[in-house]
Amino acid sequence: MAICVNCEEEYNDKRLALGYSTCLDCGEAEAQGIIAARTHAKLCEMTPYVSGSLTQPDALFEVRPGSIARSKPKEFVVGE
Ligand SMILES: [Zn+2]
C-alpha cells in the first residue's frame, strides 16, 4: 500500500500509479481548494472594472456639496 504524504494514511497503489501522492480524502480536499481558487479567479475576471465616474463620484457634480463654488460654473449651451 502507498502512504499519503499529507496524513500518512495508507491508500491504494493504483492511485499512486496515477500520479497521486495523497489519499483519496486529502486529494479531494486539495481538489476543492483548487476549484475554489479557480472559481474565485473566474469571478474576478468577470467582474467589471470600476472606472471613470465610479472612482470619482464627486466629478459628477459641478460643485461639490458643502464646498465653495467654482469661480465660473460651466454654462450649458443648447446644441453644444
Ligand atoms: Zn491523506
Residue 23 · residue 11 · CB < 8 Å: yes
Nearest-angstrom CA–CA distance, 76 and 64: 18
Q: What is the pLDDT of residue 38?
A: 96
Task: Identify which has the larger pLDDT, 14 or 78.
Answer: 14
What does DSSP say about strands 10-11 and 2-3: parallel, antiparallel, or unpaired? antiparallel
Q: Any idea which residue has 453644444 for its cell?
A: 80
The predicted model scores a pTM of 0.49
Here the cell at position 7 is: 496524513
Q: What is the pLDDT of residue 74?
A: 67
| Secondary structure (3-state) at 19 | coil
Distance 80 CA to ligand 1 centre (A): 71
Which residues are placed with Cβ below 5 angstroms of ligand 1, an ion?
4, 6-7, 9, 22-23, 26
Average pLDDT for residues 36-61, to the nearest whole number?
79
